[in-house]
Amino acid sequence: MSEALLQARGLHLAFGGVKAADGIDLDVLRGEFLAIIGPNGAGKTTFLNMATGYLRPQAGTIAYEGESILGLAPRAIVRRGIGRSFQLPQLFTEHTVLENVALAVAAREGVWSPLRPLLRPAWREEATEVLARFGLATLAGARADALNEGARKLTDIAMAVALKPRLLLMDEPTSGVAAAEKMAIVETLARVLRETGVTAVFVEHDMDVVERFADRVAVWSQGRIAALGPPGTVLADPAVQREVIGIEGPGAAAAGLPGGIAAGHA
């Protein structure tokens, strides 16, 4: 079996004139934490959308565990073990935080039991444990639409984690999370994922988080991967600094980026 858990080749997707994916080749390696960075509109979310079956690329292939997942519905892809959290949290707003996570547990264990309650002891306990890990224990009884942005974000991730995926794709997991809590939360999240052998891809704008937790960094720019490698090397590159860490936006020319720093894996 290959070392790549997820394998994307030649992904193309344009929205009108906008090339959101313009030849994406990427191997996500088993067990790694891969950070995706890049300016707004570079196509980071589009990549996650294609990998989870929400968008279908116009060209190219995606394989998971060596099998093509192209054309599968999100539901089928999730069942194969790819979980996802969202840039804008996708919560069941009329349910409590606990119920949101319990629904994820139910989705994993089998939702088709019409007579036993969702909050049966085993599922309530598991959901409570997951919430505790994310520091959300005190909010368990709160309705999801009453949360602040950070808590919504964490609930969203907690739901994805509760599905126990083998590959977890996270879209800006720390945006909206208070700076004071950010590192502690990512720390816990990273520990949980490492302990359970989960491979993770996360889109991230905070370079401290990237530096600390990513094994590799992929730099997205105008639908392409402009650079790929260990954070130490990639983040030190002046072109990357200009494009991503410095002035952001599509105005900053991608032309200055090197075609790709040799993909040495840490």
Cβ–Cβ under 8 Å, residues 145 and 92:
no
45 sits near Mg ion (criterion: CB under 5 A): yes
Residue that the structure tokens 């300016």 belong to: 39
Cβ–Cβ under 8 Å, residues 266 and 216:
yes
- Candidates 45-53, 61-69, 237-245, 253-261: pick the segment binding Mg ion (CB under 5 A): 45-53
Q: Closest separation between CB of residue 224 and ligand ATP, Å?
A: 12
Between 130 and 160, whose beta carbon lies closer to ligand ATP? Answer: 160
Q: Which residues of this protein are in contact with another protein, per CB under 8 A?
A: 52, 73-75, 78-79, 84, 90-95, 99, 102-104, 106-108, 111-119, 159, 163
Residue 241 binding: pick among ligand ATP, Mg ion, another protein, none (C-beta 5-8 Å cut-off by kind): none
Q: Closest separation between CB of residue 193 and ligand ATP, Å?
A: 22
Q: Measure the CA angle with vertex 59, ends 35 and 43; round to 5°.
A: 35
Between 44 and 124, whose beta carbon lies closer to Mg ion? Answer: 44
Cβ–Cβ under 8 Å, residues 209 and 5:
no
Q: Give the strand order in the sheet containing 224-229.
A: 82-85, 167-171, 199-203, 33-37, 216-221, 224-229
Residue 159 binding: pick among Mg ion, another protein, ligand ATP, none (C-beta 5-8 Å cut-off by kind): another protein
Between 73 and 178, whose beta carbon lies closer to another protein? Answer: 73
Q: Closest separation between CB of residue 102 and another protein, Å?
A: 8
- Using DSSP, state whether 98 is helix, strand or coil: helix
Q: Please provide the size of the chain in residues.
A: 266
Residue 91 binding: pick among another protein, ligand ATP, Mg ion, none (C-beta 5-8 Å cut-off by kind): another protein
Distance of CA 92 to the CA centre of its chain: 19
Measure the CA–CA gap between 226 and 36, rounded to whole angstroms: 11
Residue 41 binding: pick among Mg ion, another protein, ligand ATP, none (C-beta 5-8 Å cut-off by kind): ligand ATP
Q: State the DSSP H helix or E strand holding residue 11, giving kind and residue range, or none if neither.
A: strand 4-15
Between 162 and 169, whose beta carbon lies closer to ligand ATP? Answer: 169
Q: Closest separation between CB of residue 115 and another protein, Å?
A: 5
Q: Write the DSSP symbol of residue 245.
A: I
Q: Which residues of this protein are in contact with ligand ATP, per CB under 6 A?
A: 15, 18, 20, 38, 40-46, 87, 220
Neighbours of 149 (CB within 10 A): 13
Given the rule CB under 5 A, which residues bind Mg ion? 44-45, 87
